[in-house]
Amino acid sequence: MAETTIKEPAAKKPANPHIENAKNIFKRLKKNKAAMAGGILILFFILVAVIGPYFVPYTAAEQNVLNKLQGPSAEHWFGTDQLGRDIFSRIVHGMSITLYIGFFSVFIAAIFGVIIGIVAGYYGGKIDTILMRLMDVLLAFPGILLALAVVTILGASLNNVILAVAVFSVPAFARIVRGSTLAVKELEYIDAVRALGAGDSRIIFRHILPNVFSPIIVQATLRIATAILTAAGLSFLGLGAQPPKPEWGAMLSDGRNYIFEAGHVALFPGLAIVIVVLAFNIFGDGLRDALDPKMKS
């Protein structure tokens, strides 16, 4: 009689903890309808910034003085400005400038802020004191005032606005990362890794940085909204992107001269700024709740 062999079921491959953690974060994020709406709007804005200029009926600088200060119509959805330029087309073209300022300035600030925060928190002592006192000096100035001073010194241009916004955003990242680093470096497994002979660079990049990444992401998302507002404010004062670039703050500044005669010239750029900033703030708040360690299972 032939013996029958029973095959044991293959052992399941252990799930990647990083993938599982990401899934759990996304599940929590999906429960926040406002945050999901903000995230969808952000994706829509990015899409508009990338492909929108190819589909609008007019270029950003195309003028028709005979049609100046016309109200919204089927031909010009948002009306025209004082030079007869289509406001809807200019807002779409300006989307890429706005997001470029927001993302790139925050990216620069995050790099320097993370380096300063980790170095100060990990090494402590005089290094911590010197770096944090420098950050305190920067924090003593209102953000818009510090950015205004930087742009005034360097000159009015788009790149200088990005640099100015990055400068006043660095302390926010540095303080958050320093606080998280101080908490993580006191954990027992850090002492165990150090006892096994790991150097400072390995401990920082392999063990501390991944554990402080969540607050960095949240701060970056919220900081983009602040960067967009600050850049718009500088452009409103004539210190940001220079004509004929369709920057929303500059468009808002031009529209204030016609606010009673043709209110739409200032209304639509202002609404664009409000909606984009609101989307980043709502999404950032929801992301902060989703990444809250207290809510992790």
- Per residue in 28-79, pLDDT (tens digit) is 777 878 888 888 999 999 999 999 888 888 888 888 888 888 888 888 888 8
Q: Are 98 and 276 in contact (CB under 8 A)?
A: yes
Separation of alpha carbons 15 and 18, rounded Å = 9
Per-residue pLDDT, 257? 84
Q: Is the CA virtual torsion 271, 277, 283, 288 positive or negative?
A: negative
Q: How far apart are CA 151 and CA 149, in angstroms?
A: 6
Greatest alpha-carbon span in the chain: 101
Average pLDDT over residues 83-97: 90
- Do residues 24 and 291 touch, judged by C-beta distance below 8 A? no
pLDDT in tens, 130-156: 999 998 888 887 777 888 888 888 887
One-letter amino acid for residue 259 of the chain: I
279: closest CA among 221, 200, 195, 209?
221
Q: Say what the pLDDT of residue 7 is.
A: 54
The CA distance from 75 to 247, in Å, is 22
- The tens digit of pLDDT for each residue in 206-256 reads 878 888 888 888 889 889 999 999 888 888 888 877 777 888 888 888 888
Task: Report which of residues 268 and 287 the model is more confident about.
Answer: 268
Type and span of the H or E element at 274: helix 264-290
**Closest by CA position to 62, among listed 31, 95, 38, 84:** 84
Cβ atoms within 10 Å, residue 19: 9
CA atoms of 200 and 190, how far apart (whole Å)? 11
For range 271-283, the mean pLDDT: 92
For residue 35, which of 272, 288, 235 has the smallest C-alpha distance?
A: 288
How many Cβ atoms sit within 10 Å of the Cβ of residue 247?
Answer: 26
Least confident span in 29-33, 98-102, 258-262: 29-33
For the cut 60, the answer to whether the pLDDT of residue 205 exceeds it is yes
User: What is 98-244+286-295's CATH number, 1.20.210.10, 3.30.750.24, 1.10.3720.10, 1.10.760.10?
Assistant: 1.10.3720.10
Q: pTM for the whole thing?
A: 0.83
Q: Are 45 and 102 in contact (CB under 8 A)?
A: no
Question: Two tokens at 155?
Answer: 């000159």
Residue 249: other Cβ atoms inside 10 A: 29
Exposure string of 84-96, with b = 16+ CB inside 10 Å and e = fewer, is bbbbbbbbbbbbb
Instruction: Give the pLDDT confidence score for residue 32 in this predicted structure.
Output: 77
Helix, strand, coil shares of the chain, percent, nearest 5, are: 75, 0, 25
Residue 112 to residue 105: CA distance in whole angstroms: 11
pLDDT averaged over every residue in the chain:
83
Of residues 247 and 7, which shows the higher confidence score? 247
115-142 average pLDDT score: 88
